Structure 1
Amino acid sequence: MDGPGWRWIFLLNLPLAAVVVGVTVRHVPESRDPDEQGRFDVLGALLAALALAGITYALTEAGSGLTPGAVVAGLAGVALTAAFVLVEHRSPNPMLPLSLFRSRLFTSVNLVTLCVYAAFSGVFLLLTVQLQIVAGFTPLLSGVALVPITVLMLLFSGRAGQFGRAVGPRLPLTLGPLLVAAGVLLMLRIGPDANYWLDVLPAVTVQGAGMTLLVAPLTATVLAAVDVRRAGIASGVNNAAARAAGLFAVAAIPPLAGLSGDAYRIPAEVDSAFRTSMLICAGLLVTGAVLAFATVRADALTPAHPIAEPDCDWYCAPTSPPIHPDEGPASSGRTA
C-alpha cells in the first residue's frame, strides 16, 4: 500500500456517507407502508446476519481445505438460513416479506442481480491484485486504472435509464451483462508488463459501458415489480442481494481458482488464478444475461405497473430507488 496504511482507506467513506445522508434527508421521499404498524424484526435480522457470517466463513476457509471449522460454519449457515426463512414466513412483521417473491419479475431480477454483482465483485477484487502483483502497477495506479468505469457511469447512466424506458428492460438487462462479460474476457490480455493503454483501458471501457447500460434499468425493473408502498423494501432486498452476492464471490471465487494464503504474493500463482477467475465471472455474467432474456418482459416498465413511470429519470446508483418529487405525479419532471 502507498501512504499511511490500508486501514486509512475506510476513512474515505465518512465524507461520502455524510453527503449521502444529507441528500437522502433532503430529496428522498418516504416510502412507508401506511398499513404496517409492526415492530422491528430483531430475530430475523440476527438470523440473517449469522447465516451470512457462517456461510462466508466456510467459503473463505474452504480455500485451505475442508477443516472441521469450515464444515461446522457452513452447516450452521445453512441451518440458520432455513431458520430465517421459517421465521420470516411466520412473523407478522417480517424484515423480508416472502410474498414479494410471488412476483416472477421481482424474483427473476434479483436472480440476475445475484449473478452480475457476484461477477462485479470478483472482477474488481482480482483485477487490482493482478495489476499490482503481476503487471507491476502501484496500488495508486491500480485504483486509477478503474476510473473510466466510474466516469462512464456518471456521464451516461441517465441516458441508459431513458433507453431502458424507451425499449423496455429486457434489452439492456441482456446486453449489459454481455458487454461486461466481453470486457472481462479482454482482461485476459493483462499479464506481466501489461500496457495500460493497450491492455487495461479497452477492457475497463467495455466493462464500464456494460455496467452503465445495465444498472439503471435493473433498478427501475426491481421497483416496477412491486406496489409503490413497498418500493423501499424492494430496493432494500435488491441491495441486500447485491451485497450478499459480492460477499460470497469474494469468499468463493479466489479459492475456486486456486488462490489463497501466500499464493497472493506469487506472480505466477496470481496470474493463473486471475485467468480462471475471469472465466468464472464471465460465465456468471452470461448466466445473468440469459436469465434476463428468458424471464424479464419487454413491457415491464409500462404504466400498468404502479411505479414504472415516475416523474423523474433514472440516474440511480445500483439498487437505489428513483426519487419522486414531493408534489406527486402531476409535477414537472426532475432527475434522480
Structure 2
Amino acid sequence: MSSTGGLDDSAAPPRVPQARTDAADAARPPEAEVRLESVRGRWVRIAAGTAGAMPILDLTAVNVVLPAIGTDTGASLAQLQWVVNAYTLPLAALLLCGGALADRWGRRRVMVWGAALFAVGTALCAMAPGLELLIAARVVQGLGAALLVPATLAVVQVSFPPDQRSRAIGLWAGLTGIAGAVGPLLAGILVDAASWRWVFCVNVPLAVVAIVAALRAVPETRADTPKARFDSGGTVLAAAALLGLSYALVAAPSGVDTTVVAALVVAVAAAVGFVVNERSIAHPMVPPELAGTRVFAAVTTVTFAVYAGVGGCLFLVVIGLQLVAGYAPWEAGLATAPLSLVLLSFSARSTRWAQRVGPRRTVAIGSVTAAAGMAGLTTISADSSYMYAVLPGISAVGAGMAMTLAPIAVAVFAAAPDAHVGIASGINNAVARVGNLAIVAALPLLAGFGSRGLTDAEAFGAGLAQGLWWCAGLLVCAGVAALWLPGRRHVEQMHRTGMLAAHRSCPLDCPPAMALEGKDAALV
C-alpha cells in the first residue's frame, strides 16, 4: 500500500500520462464529471469560484474596517481581536469536520449548506446593534466557512476529469485571488462612503449566486468508502485546544493571571488528548494515510508559518497605514492591492519554474523573498513615502507568495487519494487558519501594543516594526522547513513516470498550473 493510502498499486504497470486508476475515479459515475468548456462546466466554475471568494473577501476586508468598528463601538483591543478570532476560531477548529462531512455526506450539499450559513452570519453582522452581537454573528460566519471552504475546493477537484483538474483549480484560485485583491479596496470605499456595516452586506448576493449555480449544475459526489462513525471527540478536543490558546494569548497583554494559566493548561491538555484520540479510534478525523508521510508533515509546517507570517503582516500594515501614516481606509486598501496583483500575475510562471527545479527550492526562495519584503515594511512611519516605504515591500511579499502558495496547494493534493480530498483540503485550510488565529492573538503581546493597541496610534506605531520582524521570522522558518519538500530529482522522476501533468494554458494566469497524478510514492 502507498504511504498515502488507497489501493495497492505496487505490482501495477507504469502509469501513462493522464491515466487514473484510483478507486474513487473508477467508482465515479460518468455523469459526475463535467468538462470545463461545457455550459455546465462554466456553471460549476461560477458556483465554486463565487463560494471560494466569499471567505477570502471577508478575511481581507475586515482588517481594513477594524479601526472604524473600534471608533463606532468604543471597543477595546481585546474586543477587536475577538471580532477577528470569533470568525477564525470556529473556522480553524471545524475545518476538519467540514472536510469529513463533505466527503461523507456529499460535497455539493455541504457547500450549499455552508454558503447559506455564511450568508446568514454575514447579514447578522451587518445588522448587529452592538459589539457582543457582532462577535456572535462572526461565530456564525465561521461555522458556515468551516463547511464552505473544504467542500468548495473538493468540488473543483472531483467534478472535472483528471486531465482538466489542474486548470480548474487554477481558475478557482484566480477568482479567489481577485477577491483578495478587491476586498481591501472595496472595504475602504464602503466604510468611507457609508459605514463598516456595508462591508458585510457584499457577501450576501454572492452567496445567493453560489447556491443557485451549485443547485443547477454541480454534480453530487461522495467518498467511495463506508460511512464511519463521526469523530465527535476529535472535533471537541481540537476546538478546546484552539479556544484555550486564543483566550490566553488575547488576555495575556492585560496581565497573566489564573485564568490565562488555566486557559493554557486546557489548550495543552486538549491538544495532547486530540493526538491520543486520533491514534486510538478506528476512524479518526485525520486519516493515518495523510498524517504519516514526510511530504504531509513538511507541507503542514510550511503552511502554518507562511499563513501566520503573511496574515500577521497584512493585519499590521493595513491598520498601521491608517493609525500611523494617516491613510484613509480606502487608501490603505488600495496600498495593499499590489500584493494580490503580483500574486495573480506571477503564480503560474513560478509554478512552471517549480516544475523544473522542484517545490523545495521554489518555496524556500519565495519564503525568504516575502520575509525580505516584510523587513522593508518596518520603515512605515507618519512621514514615510508610499513609493519607498510601502510599495517595494508589499510587492516583494506578493512575489514571495506567488512562489510559495501554488506548490503548497499541489503538494497537499499529491498526498491525498480522491477518497480523502475533502479532508485533505480541510486539514491544509485548518492549519492556515490556525496560523492566522495564533498570530492575530499573539501580535499585541509580541509587538508590545499593551492593552491600548488599535485605540492608540502612538502605542501601535511603537510596536509596528517589532511585529513585522516577528512575521518575517516566521517566513524564514517556512523557508527552512521547505528543505524537506520534494526536490528536482523527485520532479524529474514524476515526469518520467507520467505522474506529473503540466497545463500551461490558464486564462487568468493564476495558480496552480501543475497537477500531480497518482500518489506520492515518488516523493518519500
Q: Give the TM interval when normalised to the shorter protein.
A: 0.7 to 0.9
**Which of these residues, 301, 306, 310, is aligned with residue 116 of structure 1?**
306
Cα shift at 1:26: 8.4
Inter-partner Cα distance in structure 2 for 1:28 and 1:313: 25
**Which of these residues, 484, 487, 494, is aligned with residue 303 of structure 1?**
494
Q: Is the 8 A contact 2:326 2:382 kept in 1?
A: yes
Cα shift at 1:211: 0.7
CA gap 1:10/1:227 in 2 versus in 1, 3 angstroms: same
Structure 2 gap segments, 5+ residues each? 1-67, 69-190, 519-524
**C-alpha deviations, 1:66-93, integer Å up to 9, x for none?**
1222221221122122222222222222
Q: TM (normalized to structure 1)? A: 0.84
**Which of these residues, 257, 261, 267, is aligned with residue 67 of structure 1?**
257
* 1:287 aligns to 2:464 (yes or no): no
CA gap 1:126/1:307 in 2 versus in 1, 3 angstroms: farther
Inter-partner Cα distance in structure 2 for 1:22 and 1:299: 46
* 1:207 aligns to 2:393 (yes or no): no
Inter-partner Cα distance in structure 2 for 1:323 and 1:16: 28
Identify the range of structure 1 (33-42 vs 54-63) with the bigger mean alpha-carbon deviation: 33-42
Inter-partner Cα distance in structure 2 for 1:22 and 1:309: 35
2:225 aligns to what SS in structure 1? coil
**Which of these residues, 171, 175, 178, is aligned with residue 361 of structure 2?**
171
CA gap 1:279/1:314 in 2 versus in 1, 3 angstroms: farther
CA gap 1:28/1:248 in 2 versus in 1, 3 angstroms: farther
Q: Which amino acid aligns with 2:500?
A: E
Aligned length: 323
Cα shift at 1:310: 4.8
* 1:79 aligns to 2:284 (yes or no): no
Inter-partner Cα distance in structure 1 for 2:483 and 2:305: 14
CA gap 1:173/1:67 in 2 versus in 1, 3 angstroms: same
Q: Output aligned runs, 1:256-271, within 5 Å.
A: 256-271=446-461
**Which of these residues, 283, 290, 297, is aligned with residue 107 of structure 1?**
297
CA gap 1:134/1:283 in 2 versus in 1, 3 angstroms: same
Cα shift at 1:38: 1.2
**Which of these residues, 244, 267, 280, is aligned with residue 54 of structure 1?**
244
CA gap 1:176/1:25 in 2 versus in 1, 3 angstroms: farther
Inter-partner Cα distance in structure 2 for 1:68 and 1:12: 42
Inter-partner Cα distance in structure 1 for 2:401 and 2:242: 26
Inter-partner Cα distance in structure 2 for 1:27 and 1:298: 40
Inter-partner Cα distance in structure 2 for 1:219 and 1:160: 13
Inter-partner Cα distance in structure 2 for 1:299 and 1:235: 26
Identify the range of structure 1 (39-48 vs 7-16) with the bigger mean alpha-carbon deviation: 7-16
Q: TM (normalized to structure 2)? A: 0.56
Q: Is the 8 A contact 1:54 1:73 kept in 2?
A: yes
Q: Is the 8 A contact 1:112 1:289 kept in 2?
A: yes
CA gap 1:54/1:313 in 2 versus in 1, 3 angstroms: farther
Q: Output aligned runs, 1:1-336, within 5 Å.
A: 1=68, 2-3=191-192, 4-17=194-207, 32-301=222-491, 302-303=493-494, 309-310=500-501, 312=503
Cα shift at 1:182: 0.9
**C-alpha deviations, 1:40-83, integer Å up to 9, x for none?**
32332222122211111111111112122222122112212222
CA gap 1:29/1:285 in 2 versus in 1, 3 angstroms: farther
Residue of structure 2 equivalent to 1:334: none
Q: Which amino acid aligns with 2:260?
A: A
Inter-partner Cα distance in structure 2 for 1:271 and 1:84: 39
Q: Which amino acid aligns with 2:380?
A: I
Inter-partner Cα distance in structure 2 for 1:22 and 1:107: 38
Structure 1 gap segments, 5+ residues each? 330-336
CA gap 1:237/1:12 in 2 versus in 1, 3 angstroms: same
CA gap 1:308/1:50 in 2 versus in 1, 3 angstroms: farther
Q: Is the 8 A contact 1:52 1:77 kept in 2?
A: yes
Inter-partner Cα distance in structure 2 for 1:95 and 1:237: 10
Q: Which amino acid aligns with 1:303?
A: M
**C-alpha deviations, 1:273-327, integer Å up to 9, x for none?**
1111111111110111011024543345553899953575697xxxx99898xxx
Identify the range of structure 1 (272-281 vs 24-33) with the bigger mean alpha-carbon deviation: 24-33
CA gap 1:298/1:180 in 2 versus in 1, 3 angstroms: same
Cα shift at 1:267: 2.9
Residue of structure 1 equivalent to 2:11: none
Inter-partner Cα distance in structure 1 for 2:354 and 2:474: 22
Inter-partner Cα distance in structure 1 for 2:382 and 2:514: 45
Residue of structure 1 equivalent to 2:104: none
**C-alpha deviations, 1:164-206, integer Å up to 9, x for none?**
2232111211011111011101101211122222221111111
Identify the range of structure 1 (76-85 vs 19-28) with the bigger mean alpha-carbon deviation: 19-28
CA RMSD across the alignment? 3.2
Identify the range of structure 1 (297-306 vs 222-231) with the bigger mean alpha-carbon deviation: 297-306
Inter-partner Cα distance in structure 1 for 2:234 and 2:426: 15
Larger radius of gyration: 2
Cα shift at 1:97: 2.0
Cα shift at 1:16: 4.6
Q: Which amino acid aligns with 2:366?
A: G
